[in-house]
A and B are shown apart, each in its own frame.
Chain A
Amino acid sequence: MALPTSSVITLHINGEKFTLPVDHRTTLLDALRERLDLTGTKKGCDQGQCGACTVLVDGRRTVACLQFAVAAEGREVTTIEGVADGERLHPVQQAFLDLDGYQCGYCTPGQICSAIGALQEHAAGWPSAATDDLRPESGPPPLTAEEIRERMSGNLCRCAAYASIVDAVAQAAGTRAIQPAGTQADSEEQAA
């Protein structure tokens, strides 16, 4: 018996259910953009290298370009369209606005979804490659600029708005990005 190469699937996105037929080759990224008109999620490299397509799947940041839509069935997907609370922006969105955490804006939805996931990971006490003290009883490490840069390294910004992105993530976390001595004039002004 020949098995099908397409399926009718139901995706759970931003609290809504969408039922659609998909060719199995369709990535979650292409399903969102081309089939469901959720074009906030961007296609950059389409190879899992740039982070522009970052969404949250079951609460965890994921690159939608390496996720087949058919394999996302039954999982809770949150895209940039679903992170705000009605008209009230998500704190990470607000921080990116307040601190100019972007230039052209193309990578921004991915940056924001990634930052939301990264801050949850940090709050859960996950270490990163920038964390010196791995002991679980130590709790979340101080969210230094180095920690933020490392945790956000999966999101490339072609405009190189990195300095403001680090500040925005720090503000959203309720901390200040701790810069090396002598380089924090900009942060001081923004924090004032």
Chain B
Amino acid sequence: MKEFTYQKAADVPGAVALLGADPDARFLAGGTNLVDLMKSGVERPARLVDVRELPLDRIETTADDGLRIGATVTNSDLAAHPEVRRRYPVLTQAVLAGASGQLRNMATVGGNLLQRTRCAYFTDLTKPCNKRDPGSGCPAIRGEHHNHAVLGASSHCVAVHPSDMAVALAALDGVVHYETADGPGEVPIGWLYLPVAETPHRETALPPGALITHLTLPPSPVAAHSRYRKVRERASYAFAIGSIAAALDVRDGVVHDARVAFGAVASRPWRARAAERILIGAQAVTETFGAAADAEMAAARPLAHNAYKVTLMRNLTVAVLGELAEEAGR
């Protein structure tokens, strides 16, 4: 690991000022991803600015009856919060589906959003990777890619975003708020992650040096009837091979409102708007749910070894929407 200087930020403006425009500086919060990447040499910061103790660790109800979640709230505290469990159960389920008890105690909300892909080529310095070393190539496309993207990828990168939490936030229309030297800004989660295109090394729309301060969730009646389901290669403590965050409001057998997002299928949490368009106003029956999944996955461009994800996402969609519809009918 490269040597680095370490400073603890006292407040948000201080943190932003300490980081400055230095491309070799990084914010350190929970460290569960950054420290690991520093050990492997993928990240080689010369300076760390510790933001974990900033006063950004609260979850509060907003004036419009939404929720404001501080960036240094741990994944554990987010999942256990009474208002999240009551009003946005899909978010609690998504966070609890990720990592382990230890890692959730360390990891923060801001860090979870900015975690890097677990593509094995990205983390292996002996291999080319356009995300880590722009222009070097993407060996995953012809290599090991059974857990790579089927939606929104490019010929430059097929890695998936690993966050479960972000999939729920995409379904809930979360907004990311940040601070820069030039003042605060915000970006909806749907616009936070940039399209892969020819620049997979450019991952987010955050300005250079920005510090995520908090998220906001708008009030969402439909979110009270929501669910996250994750499929992985073992029962616990593994990244998804496919996941879904869904919320469904069924009235008199008809879908009144719906939110659907897919995980582990793209470089970002994938809001399934084509599926939602099919769902809203249609009969809440299996045929509708299957048609919604098909509409979304019509854009899929699977590689040689990950076409199973197209079927998986259809099955997940039908199963989870079916359960939500059945519960609504009780």
Interface residues of A (CB under 8 A from B): 3-5, 7, 23-25, 27, 46-48, 51, 54, 60-63, 66-68, 70-71, 114, 117-118, 121, 124-129, 131, 134-136, 149-155
Chain B residues with Cβ under 8 A from A61's Cβ? 101-102, 105
Can you name 5 A-B residue pairings with CB atoms under 8 Å?
A: A68-B35, A125-B80, A127-B85, A150-B235, A154-B100
Contact A150 B236 (CB under 8 A): yes
B89 to chain A minimum Cβ distance, whole angstroms, is 5
B191 within 8 Å of A by Cβ?
no
B1 within 8 Å of A by Cβ?
yes
Chain B residues with Cβ under 8 A from A25's Cβ? 1, 3-4
Contact of B102 among A23, A46, A63, A70 (CB under 8 A): A63
B86 within 8 Å of A by Cβ?
yes
Q: How large is the interface on B (under 10, 10 to 19, 20 to 34, 35 or more residues)?
A: 35 or more
Contact B92 A154 (CB under 8 A): no
Contact A129 B97 (CB under 8 A): yes
Q: How far is the CA of A61 from the CA of B103 in the complex (A)?
A: 9
Q: A54-B102, A114-B101, A136-B86 are in contact. Are A48 and B36 (CB under 8 A)?
A: yes
B262 to chain A minimum Cβ distance, whole angstroms, is 19
A153 to chain B minimum Cβ distance, whole angstroms, is 4
B47 within 8 Å of A by Cβ?
yes
Chain A residues with Cβ under 8 A from B1's Cβ? 25
Contact of A153 among B5, B85, B100 (CB under 8 A): B100
Contact A135 B85 (CB under 8 A): yes
Chain A residues with Cβ under 8 A from B105's Cβ? 60-62, 117
B157 to chain A minimum Cβ distance, whole angstroms, is 23
Contact of B4 among A5, A47, A54, A124 (CB under 8 A): A5
Closest to A60 in B: B105
Contact B80 A124 (CB under 8 A): yes
Contact B48 A24 (CB under 8 A): yes
B125 to chain A minimum Cβ distance, whole angstroms, is 15
Closest to B99 in A: A154
Q: How far is the CA of A3 from the CA of B20 in the complex (A)?
A: 15
Residues facing A in B21-67 (CB within 8 A) are 28, 31-32, 35-36, 39, 47-48, 50, 52
Q: A117-B101, A124-B80 are in contact. Are A67 and B4 (CB under 8 A)?
A: no
Q: How far is the CA of A164 from the CA of B36 in the complex (A)?
A: 31
Chain B residues with Cβ under 8 A from A126's Cβ? 76, 79-80
B329 within 8 Å of A by Cβ?
no
Q: A4-B5, A24-B3, A24-B5 are in contact. Are A66 and B237 (CB under 8 A)?
A: no
B283 within 8 Å of A by Cβ?
no
Q: How far is the CA of A23 from the CA of B3 in the complex (A)?
A: 8
Smallest CB-CB A-B distances: 4 pairs: A154-B100, A153-B236, A3-B5, A136-B82
Closest to A66 in B: B35
Residues facing A in B243-292 (CB within 8 A) are none
Contact B85 A134 (CB under 8 A): yes
B281 to chain A minimum Cβ distance, whole angstroms, is 29
Q: Write the B70-103 contact mask toward A (1 if CB under 8 angstroms, else 0).
A: 0000001001101001100100110011011111
Closest to B34 in A: A66
B7 within 8 Å of A by Cβ?
yes
Closest to B123 in A: A47
Closest to B237 in A: A153
